């Protein structure tokens, strides 16, 4: 069995058990103001930098796909562990870790050693969408934080911007996520920006042809040619859709018009299995909102079942590794 397939099987098996232990209102007694605190910090962060909303939301995707929603993506490297921040899909891409630090600091002041960093990602992602004008949903909480992170697993699992829809359908199915989940969750690109690095091959060498991607609308391509010239700075950022600070269905309208930024975006429209969902969400924003919220909940259910803890600092494993340790999704302590 391919390592990714084996990992996905274990992850989904663990998720079925652990997801049942996650529940809304998990902190109602132990930290009743937890969700209010997260929303308040997110609101202030969005005033300082509107892009932080998209950046924080992306953390849920990059965390949950790699060994479940366990906060592993937040861990800094150590002399004995290379974490996930420098993996190919994350380096020079993931950002706003300091916003999570601010949330954690506020929660530790109110309720020390109670709220996990993994749950902070889930709450903050929901708030990022809501504060951008998108849907609200009730989050299930009760996750533990991982004791380690894996550079190798992140590289093995996270898809490249060059991925096509067929590959993504297969990837999502390994996590028991449907085609509907794939297309609706891809709508997360309704907010935020991408780097020129991620689109250069579409502009100048699609599929090794030495030519641009024929699916790209001409005026949009000419615009990107100016922002992302061959030989230019590939870290320059470009809006992922025409309304990058508003969570709406413009992303799907852009795909239908040939103005999808990433290859993994545009092929959702050109691939027969995913195209009907793109067209549905283009025409029905409320349907998109509903399916996106359901997809985020299902994504949040991914758990590895590995031992975990409540980190005091989201960037570091606790010095006393036997404090507040449990198993992902279960409220346990071991002395």
Residues 243-283 pLDDT 10s: 999 999 999 999 999 999 999 999 999 999 999 999 999 99
Q: Between vectors from CA 121 to CA 251 and to CA 60, what angle results, nearest 5°? A: 45
Residue 8 lies in a domain: no
Residue 171 structural domain: 165-298
**Dist CA 134 CA 126 (whole Å):** 9
- Was 237 annotated as part of a binding site? no
Residue 259 lies in a domain: yes
Block residue for tokens 């930024």: 261
- Please report the pLDDT score of residue 327 as a whole number: 36
The two three-digit tokens of residue 55, written as one number: 């950046």
pTM (predicted TM-score): 0.89
- Was 63 annotated as part of a binding site? yes
Task: Clarify whether residues 88 and 132 are in a common domain.
Answer: yes
- Was 70 annotated as part of a binding site? yes
Residue 330 lies in a domain: no
3-class secondary structure, 251: helix
Task: Clarify whether residues 81 and 173 are in a common domain.
Answer: no
Q: Assess contact for 102 and 127: CB atoms under 8 A.
A: no
- Please report the pLDDT score of residue 92 as a whole number: 79
- Please report the pLDDT score of residue 189 as a whole number: 97
Which of 71, 113, 31 lies closest to 320, judged by CA? Answer: 113
Which of 86, 120, 172, 319 lies closest to 128, judged by CA? Answer: 120
**Dist CA 297 CA 31 (whole Å):** 21
- Please report the pLDDT score of residue 9 as a whole number: 46
CATH number, domain of 81, equals 1.10.520.10
**Dist CA 91 CA 85 (whole Å):** 6
Confidence of residue 332 (pLDDT cuts 50, 70, 90): very low
Confidence of residue 59 (pLDDT cuts 50, 70, 90): very high
pLDDT digits (tens, 9 = 90+) for 309-320: 999 999 999 986
**CB count in 10 Å sphere of residue 287:** 14
Residue 129 lies in a domain: yes
What lies within 8 Å, CB to CB, of 299 at 6+ separation is 60, 61, 64, 69, 177, 181, 185
Task: Clarify whether residues 153 and 177 are in a common domain.
Answer: no
Task: Clarify whether residues 242 and 303 are in a common domain.
Answer: no
Quickly count helices (H) and strands (E) in the chain: 14, 5
Task: Clarify whether residues 282 and 261 are in a common domain.
Answer: yes
Residue 149 lies in a domain: yes
As a whole number, mean pLDDT of residues 72-81 equals 95
**Dist CA 27 CA 66 (whole Å):** 25
Task: Clarify whether residues 303 and 293 are in a common domain.
Answer: no
What lies within 8 Å, CB to CB, of 36 at 6+ separation is none
Task: Clarify whether residues 150 and 47 are in a common domain.
Answer: yes
- Please report the pLDDT score of residue 4 as a whole number: 52
Residue 281 lies in a domain: yes
Average pLDDT, the chain: 90
**Dist CA 1 CA 7 (whole Å):** 10
Confidence of residue 67 (pLDDT cuts 50, 70, 90): very high
- Was 322 annotated as part of a binding site? no
CATH number, domain of 231, equals 1.10.420.10
Residue 321 lies in a domain: no
Residue 190 has pLDDT above 90, yes or no: yes
Task: Clarify whether residues 130 and 254 are in a common domain.
Answer: no
Residue 323 lies in a domain: no
The two three-digit tokens of residue 14, written as one number: 């663990």
Domains in the chain: how many in total? 2
**Which sequence positions are flagged as catalytic?**
62
**Dist CA 27 CA 209 (whole Å):** 55
Confidence of residue 54 (pLDDT cuts 50, 70, 90): very high
**CA-to-CA separations, 332 to 104, 143, 174, in angstroms, rounded:** 21, 11, 29
């Amino acid at each position: 069995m391919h390592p990714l397939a084996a990992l996905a099987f274990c992850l989904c098996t663990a998720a079925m058990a652990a997801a049942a232990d996650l529940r809304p209102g998990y902190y109602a007694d132990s930290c009743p103001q937890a969700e209010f605190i997260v929303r308040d910090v997110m609101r202030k962060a969005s005033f300082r930098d509107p892009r932080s909303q998209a950046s924080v939301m992306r953390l849920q995707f990059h965390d949950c796909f790699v060994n479940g929603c366990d906060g592993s993506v937040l861990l800094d490297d150590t002399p004995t562990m290379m974490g996930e921040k420098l993996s190919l899909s994350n380096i020079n891409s993931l950002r706003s870790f300091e916003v999570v630090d601010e949330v954690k600091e506020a929660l530790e002041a109110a309720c020390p050693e109670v709220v996990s960093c993994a749950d902070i990602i889930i709450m903050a992602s929901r708030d990022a969408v809501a504060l951008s004008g998108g849907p609200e949903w009730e989050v299930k909480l009760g996750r533990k934080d991982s004791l380690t992170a894996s550079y190798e697993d992140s590289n093995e699992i996270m898809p490249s911007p060059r991925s096509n829809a067929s590959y993504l359908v297969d990837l999502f199915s390994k996590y028991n996520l449907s085609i509907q989940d794939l297309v609706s969750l891809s709508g997360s690109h309704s907010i935020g920006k991408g780097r020129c690095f991620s689109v250069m091959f579409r502009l100048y060498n699609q599929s090794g042809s030495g030519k641009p991607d024929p699916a790209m609308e001409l005026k949009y391509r000419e615009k990107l040619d100016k922002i992302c010239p061959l030989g230019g700075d590939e870290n320059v950022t470009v809006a992922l859709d025409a309304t990058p600070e508003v969570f709406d269905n413009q992303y799907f309208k852009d795909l239908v018009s040939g103005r999808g930024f990433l290859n993994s975006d545009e092929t959702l429209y050109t691939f027969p299995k995913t195209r009907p969902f793109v067209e549905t969400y283009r025409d029905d924003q409320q349907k998109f909102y509903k399916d996106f919220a359901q997809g985020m909940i299902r994504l949040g259910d991914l758990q590895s079942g590995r031992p975990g803890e409540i980190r005091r600092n989201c960037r570091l494993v606790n010095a006393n590794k036997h404090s507040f340790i449990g198993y992902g999704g279960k409220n346990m302590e071991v002395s």
